[in-house]
Amino acid sequence: MTDTKWAIHGREFANCNCSYGCPCQFNALPTYGNCSAVVGVEIDKGYHGDTKLDGLRLAGIFRYPGAIHEGNGEAVPIVDKRANQAQRNALLRIMSGQDTKPGATMFQVFSSMLSKAYDPVFADIEFAVDIAKRRARLKVPDYIDQRGEPIVNSVTGAEHRIRIEPEGGFEFTSAEIGRGWTKTFGPIELSLADSYGQFAELHLSQDGIIPA
């Protein structure tokens, strides 16, 4: 970790291969014994040192052969191609946890459990998320096609609303839970269907979650 200070305030949608309740959120092993996930983030306001990050987007494709904490994962980091060189370097340092207190953010934790990080991709990132409505869309040409929707009651067809609010987390203070569908291409190919989705506001720094 360096002395560089950073902070981002934005929104995310993440879809993983677990069932709607995602056991990982409750300190249990993943539903199928392994973890695959795809996440998109839009930064409304942010900085890394003197570099502004307002309005930029990022995404990531992750795959772990077991639970995340068991390691040996692989990932494809994707950065908004609108970012200039300083912004690209800043986002990659945040995503790889290089300027973060160990264990303080999901970026640092997930990256520390990788055995292979593919070369970063700089691409158009089409991303829209409505946290309250539990809807999202993420598209990265040649890499990601993803959507998020509410959970639907199997009897009535009504939208089901539920959230999780972890204490002492490293990602968010509250997340709306829904479901997602994702297909990825390139070095990590995934096909996730009707599985766990989370819609959340992010407010993070090198020291972890910034209190509201």
DSSP strand pairing (114-117 vs 57-64): unpaired
Domain that holds residue 156: 6-209
Asked if residue 138 has pLDDT above 90, the reply is yes
Residue 38 falls within a domain, yes or no?
yes
Residue 178 falls within a domain, yes or no?
yes
> Residue 75's pLDDT band (boundaries 50, 70, 90)?
very high
Asked if residue 1 has pLDDT above 70, the reply is no
pLDDT tens for 23-39 read: 999 999 999 999 999 99
Residue 124 falls within a domain, yes or no?
yes
Kindly state the average pLDDT of the residues 146-175: 96
pLDDT tens for 81-115 read: 999 999 999 999 999 999 999 999 999 999 999 99
Mean pLDDT computed over every residue of the chain? 97
Number of folded domains in the chain? 1
Rounded to an integer, what distance in angstroms lies between the CA atom of residue 95 and that of residue 86? 14
pLDDT score, position 212: 80
Provide the residue type at 141 as one letter: P
Kindly state the average pLDDT of the residues 148-177: 96
Secondary structure of the chain in HEC code, one letter for each residue: CCCCCEEEEEEEEEEECCCCCCHHHHCCCCCCCCEEEEEEEEEEEEEECCEECCCCEEEEEEEECCCHHHCCEEEEEEEECCCCHHHHHHHHHHHCCCCCCCCCCHHHHHHHCEEEECCCEEECCEEEEECCCCEEEEEECCCEEEEEECEECCCCCCEECCEECCCCCCCCCCEEEEEEEEEECCCCCCEEEEEEEEEEEEEEECCEECCC
Provide the residue type at 22 as one letter: C
Residue 200 falls within a domain, yes or no?
yes
pLDDT score, position 21: 87
pLDDT score, position 15: 98
Give percent of the chain with pLDDT exceeding 70: 100
Kindly state the average pLDDT of the residues 178-189: 98
pLDDT score, position 2: 77
Asked if residue 175 has pLDDT above 70, the reply is yes
Rounded to an integer, what distance in angstroms lies between the CA atom of residue 64 and that of residue 20? 19
Residue 1 falls within a domain, yes or no?
no
- Its pTM stands at 0.96
